[in-house]
Amino acid sequence: MSKVVLITGGSSGIGRAVCTYLTDKGYTVYGTSRNPEKLPSEKFHYTLERLDVTDPGQVQDLVGRIKEKEGRIDVLINNAGVGITGPVEETPREEIEKAFDTNFYGPLNLINAVLPVMREQKSGLIINITSIAGYMGLPYRGIYSATKGALSLVSESLQMEVHEFNIDICNIAPGDFNTDIANRRYHAPMPASSPYSQNYEQVLDIVNKQVAEAGEPLKIAKTVEKIIRSKNRKIHYKVGAFMEKFSVVLKKILPDKVFKKLLLNHYKL
Ligand SMILES: NC(=O)c1ccc[n+]([C@@H]2O[C@H](COP(=O)([O-])OP(=O)(O)OC[C@H]3O[C@@H](n4cnc5c(N)ncnc54)[C@H](OP(=O)(O)O)[C@@H]3O)[C@@H](O)[C@H]2O)c1
C-alpha cells in the first residue's frame, strides 16, 4: 500500500521537487498551492489542492477530504514558507506578522489538523522544513530566522508530547537552495536616508548571490524520502553545503564573540 503524503507548497522550489520525487517513487502525493488553477497542469503529474496554510478552515477541510478519500495520512510535510529581509528596526509589524502566519502558525494549523488522524491510525510522521537560518540570528534576516527557529523549537516539544502515539516529528533545515524564494520574499523598503541602507543592500547582494549559486532542491527530496523510510529517525537534519552545516557546529562550540566576528566577516559588515 503506498503511503499517503500531504505536502504544503507543492507548486515551486523545494516542495515541487519533493512532490515530483515522491510521486515517481510511488507515494500517493497531495501537494498544495494557493492558486492551483493558475499553474500549467501538464507540468505537474501529482495532485495540487488549493490551500492557504494561514487559513485554519481551509486546512481542516483539506485534511478531512484526504482522510475521507484515502482513509489515512501517513506523512505531513510542512514546506510552504516565505522569505523576509530587512533591518529588524525597519521591518513593518504587519509584515512580521505575515511571515509568522505562513512560516510558524501555518505549520501549526496543519499539525493540529493531522494529529487526530495520525493518533487514530496509531502512526504518522511530520516533517517541518525549517532552515539553517533558524539556528542563528542572521543580519537583516532576523525575522526569517525567528520564524524558523520558533518552528524548530516547537517541534522539539511536540516530539515528546506525541511520542506515545507512535508519531514522529523531524525538522529538515536546508542551507541555500536554488528556488524562487528570493524573487518572492518580502524586502523591507530602504530609503537612502536609512542608517542601514548601505549595509542592508550589501548583505542582500551576498544573500541573493548565495541562493542563485546554490544547489538544486532534489537533494532535499532525497533526504525526505530517506527519512520516510528510516526506522531510526533523528529530530534534526541539516541539508546544504559543508560550511552551512558546519556553521551550526561552530555556533555551538565557539565563544559568542568569535562566532559573531565570523558572521560579520562573511557579510562584510
Ligand atoms: N530555498 C532556500 O534556500 C531555502 C533555505 C532554507 C529554507 N527554505 C524553506 O523551504 C521552504 C520552501 O521554500 P522554496 O525555496 O521552495 O520557496 P518557493 O520556491 O518560493 O516556494 C514556496 C512555496 O510555498 C507556498 N506558499 C507560500 N505561502 C503560502 C501560503 N500562505 N499558503 C500555502 N502555500 C504557500 C508557495 O505556493 P503558492 O505560491 O503556489 O501558493 C510555494 O509552493 C520554505 O519554508 C522556505 O522557508 C528554503
Instruction: Spell out the per-residue pLDDT of the chain, length 269, in tens.
Output: 899 999 999 999 999 999 999 999 999 999 999 999 999 988 899 999 999 999 999 999 999 999 999 999 999 999 999 999 999 999 999 999 999 999 999 999 999 999 999 999 999 999 999 999 999 999 999 999 999 999 999 999 999 999 999 999 999 999 999 999 999 999 999 888 999 999 999 999 999 999 989 999 999 999 999 999 999 999 999 999 999 999 999 999 999 999 999 999 999 99
Overall number of domains in the chain: 1
**Structure letter (DSSP) for residue 54:** T
Does the beta carbon of 54 lie inside 6 Å of ligand 1? yes
Amino acid at 150: A
Owning domain of residue 201: 4-266
- Contact present, 178 and 17 (Cβ < 8 Å): no
- Contact present, 101 and 145 (Cβ < 8 Å): no
Does the beta carbon of 8 lie inside 6 Å of ligand 1? yes
Structure pTM? 0.97
- The grid cell for 3 is 503511503
For ligand 1, atom 1: residue with the closest CA: 177
Contacting residues for 3 by C-beta, under 8 A, at least 6 apart: 27, 28, 74, 75, 228
144 is catalytic: yes
- Which is the catalytic residue, given 144, 196, 237, 267? 144
CA of 6 from ligand 1 middle (Å) equals 15
Amino acid at 223: T
Residue 61: give its domain's CATH number: 3.40.50.720
Does the beta carbon of 177 lie inside 6 Å of ligand 1? yes
The three-state (H, E, C) secondary structure of 207-268, written as one string: HHHHHHCCECCHHHHHHHHHHHHCCCCCCEEEECCHHHHHHHHHHHHCCHHHHHHHHHHHCC
How many CA atoms are closer than 13 Å to the CA of 219, on its beta-carbon side? 17
- Contact present, 152 and 172 (Cβ < 8 Å): no
Contacting residues for 218 by C-beta, under 8 A, at least 6 apart: 17, 21
Q: Which of 32, 17, 116 is nearest to 78 (CA)?
A: 32
Pocket test for ligand 1, best of 44, 76, 82, 210 (most atoms within 8 A of CB): 82
Does the beta carbon of 220 lie inside 6 Å of ligand 1? no
CA of 219 from ligand 1 middle (Å) equals 16
